[in-house]
């Protein structure tokens, strides 16, 4: 066998290894799933409030977002920026709670091991300027989870998902 044939065979072998590596990474990313809890229960809302009926005053509010991250692939995923934002989707008063208003957010990082489903949660503090309108009006929130620069096997990707939650302060104060 000539030297040039050995070099060609070596190049083909390197291409096969690179191709298998890229294919395995793509298959791993394709299997990633994020599931978010689809309803907001009283236990998911941290609410410090006082008053009764229409005279409710919120002193502090946060929402805990529960999610499952399924990574069936062969590579671990590290999410350098795991970002959660809560927006007003619709409300009973568009002046006090305008649509698409950002009412809270959090940045963190997560590590998702291979072949596992990770149950996680994020607690997002609600901005204080929204306490009064949220005490008076019902609203629907849009919660967006975003993974920025998620990395696996040296390949980076972004992932976005969202869910709508209904907000009724009376429901959360009474624990219904």
* Domain boundaries defined on the chain: 31-174
Q: Which residues pair with 159 in a beta bridge?
A: 147
Which of the four pLDDT bands, split at 50, 70 and 90, describes residue 98?
very high
Distance CA 147, CA 161 (A): 9
**pLDDT greater than 50 at residue 176:** no
Query: Above pLDDT 90, what percent of the chain?
Result: 14
Distance CA 136, CA 130 (A): 10
CATH number of 31-174: 2.60.40.10
Give per-residue pLDDT as tens, 115-141.
Answer: 899 898 888 999 988 888 888 888 888
Give per-residue pLDDT as tens, 18-50.
Answer: 888 888 877 777 778 888 877 777 677 777 777
């Amino acid at each position: 066998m000539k030297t040039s044939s050995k070099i060609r065979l070596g190049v083909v072998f390197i291409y096969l290894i690179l191709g298998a590596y890229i294919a395995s990474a793509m298959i791993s990313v394709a299997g990633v799933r994020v599931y978010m809890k689809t309803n907001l229960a009283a236990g998911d809302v941290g609410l410090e409030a006082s008053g009764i009926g229409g005279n409710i005053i919120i002193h502090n509010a946060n929402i805990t977002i529960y999610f499952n991250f399924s990574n069936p692939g062969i590579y671990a995923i590290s999410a350098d920026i795991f970002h959660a934002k809560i927006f007003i989707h619709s409300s009973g008063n568009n002046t006090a709670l305008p649509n698409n208003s950002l009412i809270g957010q959090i940045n963190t990082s997560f590590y998702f091991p291979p072949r596992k489903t990770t149950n996680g949660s994020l607690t997002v503090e609600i901005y204080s300027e929204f306490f009064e309108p949220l005490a008076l009006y019902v609203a629907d929130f849009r919660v967006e989870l975003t993974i920025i620069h998620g990395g696996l096997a040296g390949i980076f990707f972004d992932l976005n998902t969202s869910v709508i939650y209904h907000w009724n302060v009376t429901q959360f104060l009474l624990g219904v």
